[in-house]
């Protein structure tokens, strides 16, 4: 694969997403350009902070370096030299009726092996079935346009991956998750591009519809409580976070996925039949596109 083309495309996808967020929210981003201190390359970290996107990061990076023994044992390919580039984002809206969203698209080389990976998933606090169904249908449409992509397989992998084992619950309502795609590099790259360039179509309508909806103190407190689950997953299980830490990546960029505010209330549970209690039923894996 042409690494320069992949890098250029990922930078354009980052620009496209940031421009879309700016148009909808009116918020500007803070940009940090940084160099990878333990190898070659670096990245562009862009952070949104304000009244609509309370905290959001849209990151690009392209790095070359040497893998630690711990990470080398977990990746395909031989040797310890690696190249990795990608776009990673997390958007934490302030309004509890707008779900948090995460997306990552990446390309990695190690030894003679190279592959694409990534995914996108939605983490709501209050359930709007229509938005979730549309989210999954759009992902299936994108997958169906590429022979290498399999929505049902990727959805199942997403449900399995974004599961908080120590809580015995899902992080959100899933999406798609995939890794080690290398059978048809051209079609796979086209699939990755479609996912990246369609982010604005996937998420911005949800943000637009609910960003100004009135909410109560109780609803805000529930959002902060559920954000705690997000933090737990990212610090304990998330591969991207662990990879970044193990490769001595830029810590501020790695941890940009964490929300600005959260809470852990001891032994809390929602009241029976409350709006909050409905979330716990709805985050159980479902066939959303058939609902």
Strand positions, DSSP E, 37-130: 40-48, 53-66, 81-93, 100-110, 113-123
**Closest by alpha carbon to 170, among 92, 103, 260, 237?**
237
Q: For 145, how many CA atoms within 13 A lie in the half-sphere containing its CB?
A: 13
Catalytic residue among 102, 136, 146, 166: 102
Alpha-carbon span 267 to 171, nearest angstrom? 18
Alpha-carbon dihedral sign for residues 239, 106, 223, 159? negative
User: Token digits for 32?
Assistant: 């940090």
Asked if residues 114 and 182 have their Cβ atoms less than 8 Å apart, the reply is yes
Is 102 assigned a catalytic role? yes
Asked if residues 102 and 195 have their Cβ atoms less than 8 Å apart, the reply is no
Strand partners, 205: none
Would you name the residues annotated as active-site residues? 102
């Amino acid at each position: 694969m042409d690494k320069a083309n992949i890098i250029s495309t990922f930078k354009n996808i980052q620009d496209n997403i940031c421009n879309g967020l700016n148009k909808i929210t009116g918020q500007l981003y803070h940009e940090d350009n940084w160099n990878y201190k333990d190898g070659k390359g670096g990245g562009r970290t862009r952070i949104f902070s304000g009244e609509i996107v309370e905290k959001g990061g849209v990151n690009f990076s392209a790095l070359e370096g040497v893998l630690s023994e711990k990470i080398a044992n977990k990746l395909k390919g031989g040797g310890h030299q690696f190249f990795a580039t990608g776009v990673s984002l997390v958007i934490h809206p302030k309004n509890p009726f707008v779900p948090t969203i995460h997306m990552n698209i990446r390309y990695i080389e190690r030894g003679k092996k190279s592959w694409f990976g990534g995914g996108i998933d939605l983490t709501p606090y209050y359930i709007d079935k229509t938005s979730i169904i549309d989210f999954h249908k759009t992902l299936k449409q994108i997958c169906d346009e590429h022979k290498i992509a399999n929505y049902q397989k990727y959805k199942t992998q997403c449900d399995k991956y974004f599961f908080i084992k120590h809580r015995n619950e899902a992080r959100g309502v899933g999406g798609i998750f995939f890794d080690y795609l290398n059978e048809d590099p051209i079609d796979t790259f086209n699939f990755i591009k479609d996912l990246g360039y369609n982010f604005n179509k996937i998420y911005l309508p949800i943000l637009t519809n609910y960003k100004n909806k009135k909410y109560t103190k109780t609803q805000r407190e529930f959002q902060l409580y559920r954000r705690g689950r997000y933090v737990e997953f990212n610090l304990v299980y998330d591969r991207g976070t662990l990879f970044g830490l193990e490769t001595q990546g830029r810590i501020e960029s790695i941890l940009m996925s964490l929300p600005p505010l959260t809470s852990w209330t001891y032994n809390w549970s929602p009241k029976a039949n409350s709006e909050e209690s409905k979330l716990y039923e709805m985050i159980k894996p479902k066939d959303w596109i058939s609902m």
